[in-house]
Chain A
Amino acid sequence: MSLLLRPRAALGGAVLAGAVLVAVATALAVGTVPMSPLRSLPALAGAGDPADILVVQRLRGPRLVAGLLVGAALGASGCLMQTLARNRLATPGTVGIDDGATAFAVASVVGASTSLAPSAMALAGAATAAALALGLAGGAGTSGYRFVVVGLGVGAVLGAVTSLLLVRAPIDAANAAFPWTVGTLNTRPAAAVTLLGYGLAGCLPLALLIGRRLSVLRLSDSVAAGLGVRVRAVRLAALAVAVVCAGLAVAVGGPLGMVALLAPEAARRVCGPYGVPVLGSALAGAALVLLADTAGRTLAAPVEVPAGLVTAVIGGPYLLWLLLTSRPRRLP
């Protein structure tokens, strides 16, 4: 665990954990009934005004938990995907997981031949997309290039299917399916949240373990193999964990845009460029989703802006800045 002992990384981890706490406090405090932490924290434990207890335990609490779990899962998944593809822009979304989840969930909502719950369908969609991409690519391949490109194609087809479903559907059904196309914590089916909780409890330690191996893989495959890392196995395991995390997360909240891209970016900024910041990314993702959701439900109240749109609006300018300011090589 030498990586964790680096002062900067440890400090960064503490900073991110602090950010999560701030996000939690804010999420509990703001809303139609403003509540100071002095009231909300006891209420969380079941003490104080019964009205406060109701608001905190029934309304804000579950949403808070869902946000934390979704953010952590997306953050960790994004971190693994970026390291796998050796690219800061790779996310579970780029390999079609988001599109798959959306397509299946929308199919369920607009009633195209299924009566399953949208969240179960989203999970099935994510799994289908990942399996299709993996199958068509013939394995994870070197540096994940093939997998990512094929996943992109799978995502495009599923995206086209979503468009088709939305165009075919009557306007009411299309509006009902809308949250599943942008990502929100408003629906958060309890079963899906529970599943995500168990999944994350299993995957996060695994992700931390794989992350340390992956940091060697960043050099090059042959160097890593020379250092005794089983390259293919590590890569496949990382992919599996990333896909499971992302799939469970989209089953809860739909495709929350940009979280998987922004969280590892933030973690690298804060913790420094050492290793693979799986834990930092998970913390940053949790804070990000929670803050975005809180902002979404309060800023434009009584209209609720889906958290996915808030993250997209935050992440968009950052992405553009990233794309446009990288220094070009000069030639006449």
Chain B
Amino acid sequence: MLVGNHERSITSGAAPPAAAPTDRLPARRMAAGVAVPVALLALTGAASLLIGSGEVGPVRSWREVPGGARDPEAAFAVWHLRGPRTLVAMVVGAALGTAGAALQAVARNPLAEPGLLGVSAGASTGVVLVIALGGSAATLGPYAAVLGALLGCLAAVGAARLRGVGDDPLRLVLAGAALSGLLGSLTSVLLLVDNRTADEVRFWTVGGVAGRDLGALADVAPALLLGAVLLLLVARPLSAMALGEPAAAGLGHRPRRARLTAVVAVALLVGGATAVAGPIGFVGLVVPFAARALVGPDLRRVLVPSLLLGPVVVVAADVVSRLLVRPYEMPLGVVTALIGAPVLVVVARARRVPAL
């Protein structure tokens, strides 16, 4: 026998499985991955209802929560201003969080984020075009946003193949940056051509959920739902693509089809979210980052906490935006950029880029 010790190492493992720990560990992590975000969501949701930039403070708001309208001003603030806005923020956050997780899986790159990759810029350019051409942002916005997001996505994924050195995670991000720059210039051209829309566009390009109502949400609901369904369908192949495309193909998936479906799903989600709230960056970076820390790298597991943490991040950012420059409000996109940039620095400073 030439290889006694190796032989033994194989057969010794064949002893009766010592109460295989294979199924319990993920279950416990998964429980934490749901419980922690749910608790955070409840907290931020409550904060969003109770805290505002105006006159109605938390105590007055709290008394009004059971209903009854004893304090009409507080009731209005809680249920007509903050309530819808919180709901919009939650939906937008959920869409951006899951889209970020999916995009990172498609690109196999922890830096792949709808904002950094130019997907959000594509969506907002679509909406700006509609505004500039005199269309109604409310009715045409969602379509233009989804279309723009799709173009941004395709350009970014195409860029992932652009010649560079090895499997460099930078390529994708640089392509996104270049694309975002280009689309930003395009928006500037539109502003220059048409001063009339400049003010509306300028306000819209910062991103925010203030004053957005449930009607705006209803306009984009079909896009968001379709995106969510596509994402569910493609979650399994996409998770297998984390092992490399040949391995995924070996497991009976069709990587090209899965990638394309995922890209469409991301475009629908980001386009829908952007049509409601404008470009909100970094949510798709921060959320999957936190979700992976909770439940590990498998996309199918990551999607669950992403769905819950997305709303947490956006709602929390919205609450902060009301408090920073009282009595005014800070644009939401600025707050998420302030939250997201440090995470980006952390990801970049990791000794090597975590493989995804």
Contacts and interface: CB of A to CB of B under 8 A. Distances in A.
Contact, chains A and B (beta carbon distance below 8 A):
yes
Interface of A: 85-91, 93-94, 98, 136-138, 143, 145-146, 148-150, 152-157, 159-161, 163-164, 166-168, 171, 174-175, 178, 181-182, 257-258, 261, 305-306, 308-309, 312-313, 315-316, 319-320, 322-324, 326-329, 331-332
Interface string B175-209: 10111011001101101100100110011011000
Given A87-B171, A309-B192, A326-B163, A160 B158 contact: no
A86 B168 contact: yes
B286 to A, nearest CB: 12
Contact of B170 (A85, A93, A181): A85
13 contacts: A85-B174, A87-B170, A89-B159, A89-B162, A136-B349, A148-B174, A150-B344, A150-B349, A156-B282, A160-B331, A164-B330, A309-B185, A332-B255
B322 to A, nearest CB: 15
Main secondary structure of the interface of A (DSSP, over half): helix
A176 B25 CA distance: 60
Q: How large is the interface on B (under 10, 10 to 19, 20 to 34, 35 or more residues)?
A: 35 or more
B163 A88 contact: yes
Contacts of A174: 202
A83 B195 CA distance: 40
Interface of B: 111, 115-116, 154-156, 158-159, 161-165, 168-171, 173-175, 177-179, 181-182, 185-186, 188-189, 191-192, 195, 198-199, 202-203, 205-206, 245-246, 249, 254-256, 281-282, 328, 330-331, 333-334, 337-338, 340-342, 344-345, 347-349, 353
B6 to A, nearest CB: 33
A86 B206 contact: no
Contacts of A324: 154-155, 158
Contacts of B202: 166-167, 174
A145 B170 contact: yes
Contacts of B156: 323
10 interchain residue pairs of minimum CB distance: A312-B185, A149-B348, A153-B344, A89-B174, A160-B337, A153-B341, A160-B334, A323-B159, A316-B182, A94-B177
Contacts of A319: 178-179, 182
A257 B189 CA distance: 12
A149 B344 contact: yes
